[in-house]
């Protein structure tokens, strides 16, 4: 059967794939558009599975608020390069994902991946996008935060996102706290939330430092406790100096406003992912040589 340009055009519109891929699929399917589309889908998913081991440390953070403003969903979607992180299909997928998350309020990431996005599951849409774009794409994290009173949400570009739930205070304070968390990256809400093993390790380090200064044991103990409070204060939200007024800690700011932070989340693109150093020139040359062979 003769494969016409119109048939190729129709298949491209359905799949978003390249012209040569579409023509090849039509030839293999004897011109059957439905069969060709299904063949390309299977081939694409197979390609997606092969790319799953590749490091995806770039991407975007997207936040979507509920209609009443009392809840918000935040998702991190990763890809391999910052170029794809700006690509329209990729950003549209991330945006739709955040909308699905605030609509469904999934209990965990697995539930979000199994949710419907159009006629397919989220994960099927992700794999199809991998096949289309040609990079590994992962949905790394999702958080849904709700507050009966004030909910702060802040995006720093597309790489850092923060949600903070506030009891008391105001919307302005909630937003200011979200900006503070984006800038200062507190690891814990308060001293009480710092794990015992983290506190013990810090105390051990500070004790060794103080003993090295030749002070008597009773002085060393006091020095260690004072330095420990300062050190742990720097990694807790309540202990940090407020970014808009460094003379004021966040704890004092909240007390003056009669407010309490009940929960917060901070996502940063690729945080904690070990990035592989790529030689893109060598990679492109290898692909050119391969295509030429």
Give the CATH number, domain containing residue 14: 1.10.8.10
pLDDT reported for residue 262: 96
Average pLDDT, the chain: 86
pLDDT digits (tens, 9 = 90+) for 183-234: 999 999 998 898 889 888 888 888 888 888 877 888 878 888 888 888 888 8
Least confident among 23-37, 133-147, 239-253: 23-37
Residue 267: inside a domain: no
CATH number reported for the structural domain that contains residue 132 in this entry:
3.30.479.20
> In this structure, are 123 and 64 located in the same domain?
yes
Residue 233 vs residue 98, higher pLDDT: 98
| Cβ atoms within 10 Å of 132's Cβ, excluding its own | 20
> In this structure, are 57 and 135 located in the same domain?
yes
> In this structure, are 44 and 68 located in the same domain?
no
Distance CA 141, CA 138 (A): 9
Residue 25: inside a domain: yes
With 0-12 / 13-18 / 19 or more C-beta atoms within 10 angstroms meaning exposed / middle / buried, residue 156 is: middle
pLDDT reported for residue 179: 96
Structural domain span for residue 122: 52-146
pLDDT reported for residue 46: 47
> In this structure, are 40 and 75 located in the same domain?
no
> In this structure, are 34 and 86 located in the same domain?
no
> In this structure, are 56 and 138 located in the same domain?
yes
Q: 118 — alpha (psi -120 to 50), left (phi > 0) or beta?
A: left
Q: What's the Cα-to-Cα distance from 15 to each of 88, 133, 241, 249, 278, rounded to whole Å? A: 16, 12, 52, 54, 30
**Which pTM does this prediction carry?**
0.74
> In this structure, are 86 and 136 located in the same domain?
yes
- If you average pLDDT over residues 108-120, what whole number do you get? 91
Our count of domains for the chain comes to 2
> In this structure, are 135 and 57 located in the same domain?
yes
Band (166; pLDDT cuts 50, 70, 90): very high
Residue 161: inside a domain: no
For the cut 80, the answer to whether the pLDDT of residue 92 exceeds it is yes
Residue 23: inside a domain: yes
Range list of H helices, 134-276: 171-184, 196-211, 217-234, 250-257
pLDDT reported for residue 293: 46
Residue 248 vs residue 279, higher pLDDT: 248
pLDDT reported for residue 44: 61
Residue 117: inside a domain: yes
pLDDT digits (tens, 9 = 90+) for 10-37: 877 766 566 777 788 888 888 888 888 7
Task: Identify which of 36-45, 246-255, 279-288 has the greatest average pLDDT.
Answer: 246-255
Joined tokens for residue 5: 């340009």
Residue 20: inside a domain: yes
Band (108; pLDDT cuts 50, 70, 90): very high
> In this structure, are 76 and 125 located in the same domain?
yes
Band (181; pLDDT cuts 50, 70, 90): very high
- If you average pLDDT over residues 247-254, what whole number do you get? 95
């Amino acid at each position: 059967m003769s494969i016409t340009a119109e048939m190729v055009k129709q298949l491209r519109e359905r799949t978003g794939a390249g012209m040569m891929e579409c023509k090849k699929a039509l030839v293999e399917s004897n011109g059957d558009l439905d069969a060709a589309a299904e063949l390309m889908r299977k081939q694409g998913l197979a390609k997606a599975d092969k790319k799953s081991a590749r490091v995806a440390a770039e991407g975007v953070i997207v936040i979507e608020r509920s209609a009443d403003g009392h809840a918000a969903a935040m998702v991190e979607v990763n890809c391999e390069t910052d170029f794809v992180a700006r690509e329209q299909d990729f950003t549209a997928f991330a945006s739709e994902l955040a909308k699905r998350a605030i609509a469904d309020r999934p209990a965990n990431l697995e539930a979000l991946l199994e949710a419907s996005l159009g006629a397919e599951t989220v994960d099927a849409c992700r794999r199809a996008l991998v096949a289309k774009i040609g990079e590994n794409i992962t949905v790394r994290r999702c958080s849904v935060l709700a507050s009966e009173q004030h909910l702060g949400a802040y995006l720093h570009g597309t790489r850092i996102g923060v949600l903070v739930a506030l009891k008391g205070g105001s919307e302005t304070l909630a937003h200011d706290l979200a900006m503070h968390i984006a800038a200062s990256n507190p690891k814990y809400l308060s001293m009480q939330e710092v794990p015992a093993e983290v506190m013990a390790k810090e105390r051990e380090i500070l004790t060794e430092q103080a003993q090295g200064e030749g002070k008597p044991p009773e002085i060393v103990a006091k020095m260690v406790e004072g330095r420990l409070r300062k050190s742990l204060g720097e990694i807790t939200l309540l202990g940090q100096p407020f970014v808009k007024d460094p003379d004021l800690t966040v704890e004092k700011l909240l007390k003056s406003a009669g407010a309490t932070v009940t929960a917060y989340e901070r996502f940063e693109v690729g945080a904690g992912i070990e990035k592989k150093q790529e030689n893109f020139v060598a990679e492109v040359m290898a692909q050119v040589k391969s295509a030429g062979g």
